[in-house]
Amino acid sequence: MSRENKPRALYLHVPFCRSICFYCDFTHRVYRGEDADRWLKALEKELSAKEIRRDLTTMYIGGGTPTSLTAAQLERLLTLLDPYTGSLQEFTVEINPETLDEEKAAILKAHGVNRASIGFQTADEKLLKMMGRRHSFKDVGNCVSLLKDAGIGNLSLDLMYSLPEQTMAGLKKDIEAALSLAPKHLSLYSLIIEDNTVFGKKGYTPLDEETEADMYEYICRVLPEKGYRQYEISNFAVPGYESRHNLVYWHYEDFYGISAGASGKEDHCRYDNTASLKEYLQDPLKKEITPLSKEDEMFETVMMGLRLKAGISMSAFQDRYGISFSEAFSGKAAALLRKGVLVAEGDMLRCAGDHYHLLNSVLSDLL
């Protein structure tokens, strides 16, 4: 593969947490110091074995909880990544409020981290406790100050809604609380209870569909009024502060996936690195590779692209696949355009108003 075709984005998964959140089904292990040390050694091996381009545009360290590492381990991690950070435009680290301190904030800044995504979830202490979170709203405030003081001002907050027992009034309070911290970016996710989570095993049920829909409509209406433009199903930003790294996913571009539990996409293949820390320590390059057919790629381009409010560029689609969108989805696309479910405006093809909230229905019609 020529250098030019290599991904310009990198995702790194830190598979440790200080505690397990009840809604989470990501790869995670409760943090143990010696595990993390061994993991850093394996990571070094993986990075040197992979020929990663050095002029990456975006990098995202997620998890798990990257800040569950000690300051020394965090320093080591970021030092391993230094060779690749020279031309980054956006370098994000996910942060759990209670695991950040001044020292760690300084380390992040020193290695070029310029954006942080903070797990806010909700301001309701009772709900936080029920979710297995160990922070409070006050911790989030402290965390924001620590980051701002360290010089990292581009902050995003992650909120969850449709939580068991949550009310509309509760959601409004959460949004007010989040806005009081003046973040540049907000992600709001409705709770999905997966079977393999603590919630799933305890038999929690999400809120009823109507309340969830009310909440979503409220969010989509209020946040733009406060200056946060919706640019994706669950993402809102002050214009200019959209997540460049995440846009790589939604534009269906390639990206490196590094470390246990990460997935990547390179050269018409998707790969899932082993999710088992034990396996990763033995063989940091162990992964499952899925080749992607042109049909896969075309559908996935649409599946990801229509998540964006702006939609997908039809000329980019044509350039990439040598076939127009309407030809690629012959019949199906025409019917959706005719019914006004999809709208073509200039070069952009997007979901029409109401149908944006029903994207799954639209996609399953295209499948």
Partner 1 sequence: MDQKYIRNFCIIAHIDHGKSTLADRILEMTDTVNERDMKTQLLDDMELERERGITIKLNAVQLSYHARDGHEYLFNLIDTPGHVDFSYEVSRSLAACEGAILVVDSTQGVQAQTLANTYLALDNDLEILPVINKVDMNNSQPDITKKEIEDIIGLDCSEAPLISARTGLNVDQVLEQIVTHIPSPGGDPEAPLQALVFDSFYDPYRGVIALVRVREGSLKVGDRIRFMATGAEYEVLETGIRNPREVRTEGLSAGDVGWFAASIKSIKNVQVGDTVTSVEKPAKEPLAGYRKMNPMVYCGLYPSDAARYEDLRDALDKLQLNDASLQYEPETSQTLGFGFRCGFLGLLHMDVVQERLEREYNLDLICTAPSVIYHVYLSDGTMLAIDNPAKMPDASRIDHVEEPYVRASIMVPEAYIGAVMELCQNKRGIFQTMEVIDTGRNTIIYELPLSEIIYDFFDRLKSCSKGYASLDYELTGYRKEDLVRMDILLNGEQVDALSVIVHRSNAYKRGSGITIRLKELIPKQQFEIPVQAAVGGKVIARTNIKSLRKNVLAKCYGGDISRKKKLLEKQKEGKKRMKEVGSVVIPQEAFMSVLSRDDEPRK
| x/- track of binding to partner 1 for residues 70-109 (CB under 8 A) | ----------------------------------------
Q: Which is nearer to partner 1, 94 or 139 (CB)?
A: 94
CB of 169 to partner 1, least distance (A): 20
Q: Which is nearer to partner 1, 165 or 295 (CB)?
A: 295
Q: Which is nearer to partner 1, 105 or 301 (CB)?
A: 301
Among 272, 276, 321, 352, binds partner 1 (CB under 8 A): 272
Tokens of 213: 């829909």
CB of 205 to partner 1, least distance (A): 16
The backbone torsions φ and ψ at residue 288, rounded to the nearest 5 degrees and listed phi first, read -105, 125
Q: Which is nearer to partner 1, 68 or 117 (CB)?
A: 117
Q: Does 357 bind partner 1 (CB under 8 A)?
A: yes
Q: Does 264 bind partner 1 (CB under 8 A)?
A: yes
Q: Does 28 bind partner 1 (CB under 8 A)?
A: no
Q: Of 53, 351, 88, 92, which is closest to residue 242 (Cα–Cα)? A: 92
Q: Does 8 bind partner 1 (CB under 8 A)?
A: no
Q: Does 350 bind partner 1 (CB under 8 A)?
A: no
Burial class (CB in 10 A: 0-12, 13-18, 19+), 291: exposed
Among 50, 79, 222, 249, binds partner 1 (CB under 8 A): 249
Q: Does 222 bind partner 1 (CB under 8 A)?
A: no
Q: Which is nearer to partner 1, 146 or 351 (CB)?
A: 351
CB of 341 to partner 1, least distance (A): 9
Among 82, 102, 176, 217, binds partner 1 (CB under 8 A): 217
| x/- track of binding to partner 1 for residues 306-335 (CB under 8 A) | -x----------------------------
Q: Does 212 bind partner 1 (CB under 8 A)?
A: yes
Count of chain residues binding partner 1 (CB under 8 A): 40
Q: Does 290 bind partner 1 (CB under 8 A)?
A: yes
Residues 168-197 that bind partner 1 (CB under 8 A): 189-192
Q: Does 35 bind partner 1 (CB under 8 A)?
A: no
Q: Map tokens 């075709």 to a residue.
A: 5
210 torsion bin: left (phi>0), alpha (psi -120 to 50), beta (else): alpha
Q: Does 248 bind partner 1 (CB under 8 A)?
A: yes
Q: Which residues bind partner 1 (CB under 8 A)?
A: 11, 189-192, 209-210, 212-213, 216-217, 233-234, 246, 248-249, 255, 257, 262-265, 270, 272, 290, 299-300, 303-304, 307, 354-355, 357-361, 363-364, 367
